[in-house]
Amino acid sequence: MKDLSISRIGSIFADALAEVVATTTGFSFDTVQPESGSGFDELIGFIGLNGNNQGIVFISASESTMRIICSYMTGISENELKINDLEDGLCELVNMTAGSAKLRFNSTDQTYTLSPPFLLHGRDINISTKKRVQFNSWYLGNENISLKLKLVFY
């Protein structure tokens, strides 16, 4: 089987993220691929992807979105969650999403290994590269939460 397109790989990750959030919170939301890539929210979880394609998968969320998601995931009220709880929650969300996507690749000839999840926390974080890369962006949201999914392949 031939390699999957970058766009198809992106949609697999978007579907995996939607499923993981729905399973852990009960929320469903719209998934759209924006016309142009937007920046990151202040909490950014990411994981390396090594295999048929090399890349990095980023999921970013605002603190308020992560409070809602983590509260549903843990049963702890939003105002009791500390910032490190939100960071741990996002890393776990990235890990579960990548694991779910990796299982979806089992029905193709694509094979991947994943790095441990990492986290950046800050405002106005941008990614720049001097080499040619392919970006694939997705926005997932509803009236309560929104997440940004970005894939960078090199």
What pLDDT is attached to residue 22? 94
Task: Give the whole-angstrom CA distance, residue 131 versus residue 31.
Answer: 29
Who wins on pLDDT, 1 or 15? 15
pTM for the whole structure: 0.91
27-55 pLDDT, tens digit each: 988 888 876 667 899 999 999 999 888 89
Residue boundaries of the structural domains of the chain: 6-153
State which CATH number among 3.40.50.2300, 3.90.25.10, 3.10.28.10, 3.40.1550.10 fits the domain covering 6-153: 3.40.1550.10
Q: How far is CA 2 from the centre of its chain?
A: 25
Bridge partners of 136? 151
Are 22 and 16 within 8 A, CB to CB? Answer: no
Are 146 and 62 within 8 A, CB to CB? Answer: yes
Tell me how far CA of residue 113 lies from CA of 33, 47, 65, 85, 96, in angstroms. Answer: 25, 10, 28, 26, 14
**Where does the pLDDT of residue 7 fall: very low under 50, low under 70, confident under 90, or very high at 90 and above?**
confident
What pLDDT is attached to residue 89? 97
**84: Cβ–Cβ under 8 A, 6 or more apart, which residues?**
none
Tell me how far CA of residue 41 lies from CA of 63, 75, 101, 114, 125, in angstroms. Answer: 8, 24, 22, 23, 8
Who wins on pLDDT, 15 or 3? 15
The mean per-residue pLDDT over the stretch 126-142 comes to: 85
What pLDDT is attached to residue 1? 38
66-116 pLDDT, tens digit each: 999 999 999 999 999 999 999 999 999 999 999 999 888 877 777 888 999
Are 104 and 18 within 8 A, CB to CB? Answer: no
**Where does the pLDDT of residue 134 fall: very low under 50, low under 70, confident under 90, or very high at 90 and above?**
confident
Residue 61 has pLDDT above 70, yes or no: yes
Task: Give the whole-angstrom CA distance, residue 96 versus residue 147.
Answer: 15
